[in-house]
Structure 1
Amino acid sequence: MKQGIIILLFNIFGLHFTQARDVDLLTKNYTIDDVQQYLATGNGWVAYPDYSDRTGWKQLTAPFYEQLLKEGDKYLDYEWQVVKATDYLEYERSGSRVIMEKPLNENIKALTGLVMAELAEGKGRYLDQIINGSWYVTEISTWSLSAHLPAFQSSKRTLPQQGTHVFDLMAGDLGSLMSWIYYFLQPEFDKVNPAISERIKLNVQERVIEPYLTRNDMWWQALDIDEGQLVNNWNPWCNFNVLTALLLVEGDTGKKLQGVYKTMTSVDQFINYVKADGACEEGPSYWGHAAGKLYDYLKLLSYATNNKVSIFEHPIVKNMGEYISQSYIGGDRWVVNFADASAKGGGDPLLIFRYGQDVHSMEMMQFAKYLTEQRSSFNVIEGRDAFRTLENFLCYPTFQKQQAQLPQNTSKWYPETEFLYLKDKNTFFAAKGGYNNESHNHNDIGSFILYKEGKPLFIDAGVGTYTKKTFSKERYDIWTMQSGYHNLPQINGHDQRFGASYKSSDVSFDPKKLVFKLDIATAYPVEAQIKRWVRSYEMKDGILFIHDDFNLKQANSPNMVHFMVAENPVISNGRISLGNGEHALTFDVNEFEASIDTIEQDDPRLSKVWGQYLYRINLKAKNTQRKGSYTFTIK
């Protein structure tokens, strides 16, 4: 009771509260001896019918049978594409990842479609093409992507290096897919030629299992972690894939046990890294690969241990799940898109539903059903992720009975990650604190977004197509990463700086007054000469009040306050109209001179979301002053 009162006081007065929680949830609760006792010795844990069980597959795939066969039929005459050496070299030459990734992705999409069609129909019509695709996968030099090879090869180059198998996201996904192909179709392959299955097994072991078991230096494993090291979606994603390979392919029980426990040790580091409030600092676009992949990993581990090794009851796992339902804005699938996340998404409905089932979140289950009702259709095949597709088949009958509803809360405060959401039937506001070294970071401490009637007004642009520059020392040369292209001030001629030391301070949220306040001074370099810059947001009856109170050590140049908007704004005497005049940003015309930058969206990843143009409002202070305050109103 006493602890509850303390937590309540912290929440009411908006003070920082770091929720105490257990760390190393997997390995502190389960020893390797426990895992040895619980781990299934065979494949009896697999929840899906054997290939030969035609009645079982007919029942499992009935709602999607025609869809699956239609997808498989598309690839009966598919010509398997070659990924050329120059496709790998293109990453060094121009920075393009797409040239190498596109043909590989199309091949894997074809193989996945063929496999699911064959499992559904079971007549062998797709088998030869599956053999061709599987043979292709085992013959290519690497299962890794060109963008990831340099970090793991001694050559530091993008051509696959002889004798080195790089374990990245794609290598893991291929290892997982090939493991399921091996599990389901080995008897059918052996009727044709046993060399097919033998080759698949050997490749999974050499390219996925052995690198994982013999190396501890892959950064995403986080096994030799430094203080402050990022642990992002790569960790649960890759660990899920190697767990799949270990369970389905590895025949050595000692290796399997050691490998499974090593994945638990590694995944613990991801859970430890995520704040107790469960927010995904990478944004909703990455939720499916971060929290969603953690869920897949935990579900697979639970399956393989007869539900004996399970941490679904721990609050942080539920908090991580509900982040996706809380971050949904509405309208045309708009979401809160801090960091590299896209502004459109919502997540995979059946994944969200299953996650909600296992953590007992009615919110997630209802939200999942809501998503499907907003879409004309959805594809049951989850890309190259065989496990998710199989789980989709399994949960669909229960999912169909679920009622649809969006979360009903009007505010959501993430005190550790420092995200705030405020919403009513017409308005969705989100703002953030944090620090400028988050995973997929943008320099955006103190920024906000605002949507009205499900439409974007004040926005975060997101990120363009990934290139070599995106994850290099030149990252912050890209405009979308800079604070000058977020809803933030430029102070004394300086934008925010990248790094863990550039962060918010004195962050608070008053849930009664609906006021979010933080000092953003420490997000800027010392050259900005800032003593204090306190920004506050207050929401009243759908009107947003923004207040900047500042104190500089010295004033060298006029301050500039930027606002990013989705529609062409119109300036008129202290008022900037938006949304065909339905909304407006007002400011003191005696304090600021307003101008508009039109930003053409020539990147397809951005133009697909925003159209041809975005706009930046620039409010340049008419006076250079050391102390003062600014007020802006959006109504």
Structure 2
Amino acid sequence: MSDNRFTAGLAGLLPPAELARALTAAGRWQPYPTVDQRPAWASVDQEYGQRLLAEAENERSTPWPELTASGYLRFSIDGNRQSFETPYLERRDRLARAVLATGLAASPADRAQYLLSAIDGIWLLCEESSWCFPAHESRPLPDQEAPTLDLFAAETGALLAYAASVLGSILRAEHPLVAERIDREVRARVLVPYQAAAETFWYDAGNNWNPWIHSNVLAAALLVESDSRDQIATVDRVLRGLDQYLTHVPADGGCDEGITYWWRAGATLFECLEILHQATGGVFDAFEQPLLGRIARYPLAAHIGGSWHVNFADGFALPRPGTVVPGLLHRFGRAVHDPEVVAHAGALAAVADRYPAPVTPGASLASCLGVLFDQDWAAAGTADFPYPGETWLPDTEVLVAREHPGSADGLFLAAKAGHNAENHNHNDVGHWIVAHDGSPVIIDVGVGTYTERTFSAERYDIWTMRSSYHNVPTVDGYEQSHGAGHRAARVAATVTGTSAGLELDLGPAYPSAAGVRSWWRSMRLVREHGEARIDIDDSWDLDRDPAELALHLMTAIPARYAAPGVLTIGPLLARFDAGRFEARIETIDLTDDLLTRVWGRAVHRVTLLARTADRVGSHRLRLTAAERSEPSPPSAAPPSRREL
């Protein structure tokens, strides 16, 4: 392991006195061209510009989404988040489109119309009683006199600040009251609460809240704040807050929140550092720190093939539109001088929109502007994914290995140890994923739509969070328990030229009532004699003969019986000890939109149930690629079905 601490911390790189000398004068920072800088806007990718203008034009004839008190109250009444969050986010996306359309429109008349649309959006957001999500508010309805600064209040403040910056002198000359309203509301709802609040739970947190909020507070302070002393105080506090975040980041650069939240954690940390680099004319420069390079490489470790990703924690195996911004990763790779990160970003552009298209949920105005005016990104050609052969993250305790380094072909294994108090935790110590030719076969189901239960005491009653719906054992019906003490013990990874494996004792992950003295699990991808296999070896020692012992496999494709002790799971053959275990196959019908978007209408579970459950025992599950010419045998028994 290597040290992940910066020598003097971010705040030490540029103390307040040096900040005062290095920062662009308050109110003068202009990171992107204003709409009256016509040559810059004329250089924007034409295909993207036409798509965005068409969407913005269609919206001009439709009413803006409505936000109601009853919609806000739904979360406290029945836990529904979407009734308010969906129109809330649609408003912000529409405003971002109107701002961009004002710059992209060719004729002065069209620009004037889109400017009015942008003003409508600005005014609506400024009239909202709160910018905070209901799920993040401590009261059923917000108190306007005591605004809550959450992720989306901060993001709204930055959206309005960037909008005012891009609309520039036209807005301030023709509609000065709108510009003044933006300044007033951003100060009142973002900058003042940020400086006035005591150390909030997220200020020293090790999860995405810290850099995500700080990236937006920082932009708001640099774009809106006119008092240099207040601006410097805010920037200094942001740096100290980011230092708190960095004390939690593992030295290997991993993200225990998973790849979905990396884009709101590692990526927004980069945005903070990039903003300060720009606003100080390059004086602030943290990108030579080795930890930043390791953080930038996490997307490579979490990549399976094409659009598919390892989705441990609250992640999506197929990222939602707008949440992946290849151009931002390209800038990150360039900043840390890592050509593989740069290449990975270029390859992502082929499987995701090269630009946030045109503005989708999760694609902020800042991310759109950052991509549109990055000349290096515009000039970058297509690239191939680097596909590292193995990645071992010793602090995050995740191992990823593929059969053919440099290619998505063949077998792929991702395995984790960890503990059951990770950020966005699922009870999944000893869990693993297998893909073939770049597509998941044995899977992590992921996470469904957030409700009030998702981050409550009922979290582990949700089936997608439970260990029995991950690829780990249950003992006498006992599943893993949550909490930091329920963790892997004696974790070791072994990587050689012919194999990569992770070994751990997952016994401590279970409650004492399960009677697990030890449960050794080895997950290994082996390349030998031109062939590859994945072996999952289990060896257990219990304090009693259990009544039931089960090994679980979640699959994207229904398993079928091929022969005694052999299952066909799509392109894979799974061999198990049929003398000691029987396979039970069930289909789980899906109704949640976020899950069906990834897996379709169903996922499947194989339960290997011990015929005779002994106190001490062992088992090997071996996975190999099926012969492509081999026909799929008929199922010996239809799977059971259930809906969760």
2:355/2:368 contact within 8 Å kept: no
Deviations for 1:397-445, whole angstroms, at most 9, x for unmatched residues?
5443345021242111001111000102311110001111111100111
Hey, what's the Cα distance between the residues in 1 that align with 2:35 and 2:562? 69
Give 1:262's aligned residue: 237
Give 2:602's aligned residue: 613
- Gap change, CA 1:62 and 1:613, over 3 Å in 2: closer
Hey, what's the Cα distance between the residues in 1 that align with 2:380 and 2:150? 38
- Gap change, CA 1:505 and 1:84, over 3 Å in 2: same
Which stretch shows the higher mean deviation, 205-214 or 63-72? Answer: 63-72
1:144-159 to structure 2, matched below 5 A, reads 144-150=132-138, 157-159=139-141
Deviations for 1:336-372, whole angstroms, at most 9, x for unmatched residues?
1101100113932111111111111111111111122
Hey, what's the Cα distance between the residues in 2 that align with 1:529 and 1:18? 37
Deviations for 1:206-248, whole angstroms, at most 9, x for unmatched residues?
00000000002421111xxxxxxx5211111100111111101
Which stretch shows the higher mean deviation, 378-387 or 320-329? Answer: 378-387
Hey, what's the Cα distance between the residues in 1 that align with 2:130 and 2:612? 60
Identity %, equivalent residues: 32
List runs of 5+ in structure 2 lacking aligned partners.
625-644
Which of 287, 292, 312 does residue 267 from structure 2 map onto?
A: 292
Which of 337, 340, 352 does residue 360 from structure 1 map onto?
A: 337
Give, in angstroms, the shift of residue 60 of structure 1. 4.6
1:176-255 to structure 2, matched below 5 A, reads 176-185=158-167, 187-222=169-204, 230-255=205-230
1:114-129 to structure 2, matched below 5 A, reads 114-121=98-105, 123-129=111-117
Which stretch shows the higher mean deviation, 415-424 or 391-400? Answer: 391-400
Coordinate RMSD, CA, aligned: 2.0
Which of 564, 584, 608 does residue 595 from structure 1 map onto?
A: 584
SS in 2 for 1:161: coil
1:397-546 to structure 2, matched below 5 A, reads 397-423=376-402, 424=404, 425-512=409-496, 513-541=499-527, 542-546=532-536
Give 1:70's aligned residue: 54
Which of 253, 256, 259 does residue 281 from structure 1 map onto?
A: 256
SS in 2 for 1:221: coil
Letter in 1 for 2:521: R
List runs of 5+ in structure 1 lacking aligned partners.
1-16, 151-156, 223-229
Give 2:37's aligned residue: 53
Give, in angstroms, the shift of residue 612 of structure 1. 1.1
Give 1:9's aligned residue: none
Hey, what's the Cα distance between the residues in 1 that align with 2:591 and 2:92? 29
2:487/2:509 contact within 8 Å kept: yes
Give 1:559's aligned residue: 549
Give, in angstroms, the shift of residue 492 of structure 1. 3.6
- Gap change, CA 1:565 and 1:316, over 3 Å in 2: same
Aligned length: 604
1:366/1:405 contact within 8 Å kept: yes
Letter in 2 for 1:476: Y
SS in 1 for 2:544: coil
SS in 2 for 1:275: coil
Letter in 2 for 1:254: R
Hey, what's the Cα distance between the residues in 2 that align with 1:149 and 1:388? 26
Give 2:325's aligned residue: 348
2:561/2:568 contact within 8 Å kept: no
Deviations for 1:14-68, whole angstroms, at most 9, x for unmatched residues?
xxx4646436630233322222221111455434223322223323565643233
Letter in 1 for 2:248: Y
Hey, what's the Cα distance between the residues in 2 that align with 1:40 and 1:46? 9
Deviations for 1:107-144, whole angstroms, at most 9, x for unmatched residues?
11111111001022363221222111111111110011
SS in 2 for 1:514: strand
Which of 368, 374, 377 does residue 351 from structure 2 map onto?
A: 374
Give 2:615's aligned residue: 626
Hey, what's the Cα distance between the residues in 2 that align with 1:19 and 1:251? 39
2:308 counterpart of 1:334 = yes
Which of 83, 100, 111 does residue 99 from structure 1 map onto?
A: 83
1:24/1:272 contact within 8 Å kept: no
1:240/1:296 contact within 8 Å kept: yes
1:543/1:634 contact within 8 Å kept: yes
Which of 131, 153, 166 does residue 119 from structure 2 map onto?
A: 131
Hey, what's the Cα distance between the residues in 2 that align with 1:195 and 1:61? 33
Letter in 1 for 2:124: Y
What TM-score results when the alignment is normalised by the length of structure 1? 0.91
Hey, what's the Cα distance between the residues in 2 that align with 1:436 and 1:339? 10
2:96/2:163 contact within 8 Å kept: no
Letter in 2 for 1:323: Y
Hey, what's the Cα distance between the residues in 1 that align with 2:380 and 2:214? 33
Letter in 2 for 1:577: L
Give 2:593's aligned residue: 604
Hey, what's the Cα distance between the residues in 1 that align with 2:614 and 2:569? 33
Hey, what's the Cα distance between the residues in 2 that align with 1:100 and 1:401? 39
1:171/1:207 contact within 8 Å kept: yes
2:446/2:595 contact within 8 Å kept: yes
Hey, what's the Cα distance between the residues in 1 that align with 2:14 and 2:540? 52
Hey, what's the Cα distance between the residues in 2 that align with 1:165 and 1:465? 26
Which stretch shows the higher mean deviation, 471-480 or 424-433? Answer: 424-433
SS in 1 for 2:84: helix
Give, in angstroms, the shift of residue 330 of structure 1. 1.1
1:599/1:615 contact within 8 Å kept: yes
Hey, what's the Cα distance between the residues in 2 that align with 1:181 and 1:398? 23
Which stretch shows the higher mean deviation, 79-88 or 394-403? Answer: 394-403
What TM-score results when the alignment is normalised by the length of structure 2? 0.90
- Gap change, CA 1:45 and 1:140, over 3 Å in 2: closer
1:46/1:303 contact within 8 Å kept: no
1:24/1:268 contact within 8 Å kept: no
2:71 counterpart of 1:87 = yes
1:324/1:347 contact within 8 Å kept: no
1:24-35 to structure 2, matched below 5 A, reads 25-35=9-19
1:564-575 to structure 2, matched below 5 A, reads 564-575=554-565
1:35-50 to structure 2, matched below 5 A, reads 35-42=19-26, 44-50=28-34
- Gap change, CA 1:124 and 1:418, over 3 Å in 2: same
Give 2:627's aligned residue: none
